[in-house]
Amino acid sequence: MTEPTTCSVTKVEQLLPPALLERLRLQLEPSAYKTALQSFATPKPVTIRPNSIRSTEQELLQQVHSAGMKTEAVTWCPECHLLTTGTIRQLQELPMYEDGGMYIQAASSMQAAYALQVAPDMRVLDMCAAPGSKTSLLASIMNTRGMLVANDRSRKRLYRLREILQRQGATNVEVLCGPGERLAQSHADCFDRVLVDAPCSGEGRIRTDKPIRISRWNLQEIRTLAKLQEQLLVAALRCVTVGGTVVYSTCTFAPEENECVLDKVLSRSSIDAELIELPRELHPPSSIAPLQNWNGKELHNDLSNAMRIIPDSTTTGFFIAAMQRKS
């Protein structure tokens, strides 16, 4: 990770709410805190991947490089490449983008899908799917085989999801519209894998050139989201079959939305599940261990298997945990 200058960090600190800064200092070691703040003041990294339904990694790189753009492989994320010279607009003008052979997606977001470890012929649920980045990657990994259900509560956002899936050639996807926390009422014990990329406060994607996002940050929203996130995770564990896997992810730092959600769910007497270790190859250099306590409360000892990703020059901030239903 690049070590930011004191000046750059000080400048960013002047633009963020003092309460957010204090919370980040409590969560992160000084080096991780500096790296995160520096990322807030730099352009969001642009990473791309092939859609294996329509193209290969070699074909993607050949087309991108032939257009005068340059890339670097993101070694910790399969078939992911960081754009080092070029723009998103240039990528979107390529035939491969128009044909659905290429997808622009944050590397940390890809990791949430890879952590689910899906295979062709599985039954998979993406509980909070729109706008469709992870759904399209899951369909690609599954080679359009098996059953992939993409659900979202927002009918408006589902229009975008359907457009993406059609362009990507994801023919094995069934789209549902409804509250994810209620899906267990109709889909209990139905899936081998469930992804809960939960709605969150988005602290891992803060950018100082997007002041509206910063101005909207508040603790009440975090508390409200945490209640919904707990409901979503409980529903996911009821939708998955015994022995199946649920991946829970967010793009925020807030412990109330991450470790505390897992702690509450694991502490429920009606839930029999455990956190399982994420494959080591999915851990980026900027990943750190989850918190073991927050606000004076010791958290569940299983949480050590979860992963925090600090935003840096290659990706945005993320939190990922995998759980297995035991009974």
d(CA 299, CA 234): 18
Give the DSSP H or E segment for 171: none
> First CA to last CA across the chain, in angstroms?
41
d(CA 283, CA 287): 6
**C-alpha distances in Å from residue 18, one per residue of 12, 218, 219, 249:** 11, 11, 12, 26
Residues in the chain: 327
pLDDT band for position 6 (cuts 50, 70, 90): very low
pLDDT band for position 1 (cuts 50, 70, 90): very low
**Residue 5: pLDDT above 60?**
no
The pLDDT value recorded for residue 8 is 81
Fold of domain 107-325: Rossmann fold (3.40.50)
Of 115, 166, 114, 122, nearest to 142 (Cα)? Answer: 122
Residues 6+ apart with CB under 8 A from 152: 128, 129, 130, 158, 161, 176, 177, 180
Of 276, 212, 214, 270, nearest to 244 (Cα)? Answer: 276
Q: Which residue has the higher pLDDT, 221 or 212?
A: 221
CB atoms closer than 10 angstroms to residue 217: 17
pTM listed for this prediction: 0.96
62-86: pLDDT as tens digits: 999 999 999 999 999 999 999 999 9
241-286: pLDDT as tens digits: 999 999 999 999 999 999 999 999 999 989 999 999 999 999 999 9
Record the tokens describing residue 171, joined without a space.
Answer: 């023919």
Region of 243 on the Ramachandran plot (φ > 0 left; ψ -120 to 50 alpha; else beta):
left
The pLDDT value recorded for residue 4 is 39
Q: Please give the average per-residue pLDDT across 213-217, as a whole number.
A: 93
Query: Are the beta carbons of 291 and 259 closer than 8 angstroms?
Result: yes
SS3 assignment, position 198: coil
Active site residues: 251
pLDDT band for position 162 (cuts 50, 70, 90): very high
Record the tokens describing residue 152, joined without a space.
Answer: 């979202």
d(CA 301, CA 305): 9
Q: What percent of the chain has a predicted confidence (pLDDT) above 90?
A: 95
**Residue 223: pLDDT above 80?**
yes
Average per-residue pLDDT for the chain: 95
The domain locations on the chain are 107-325
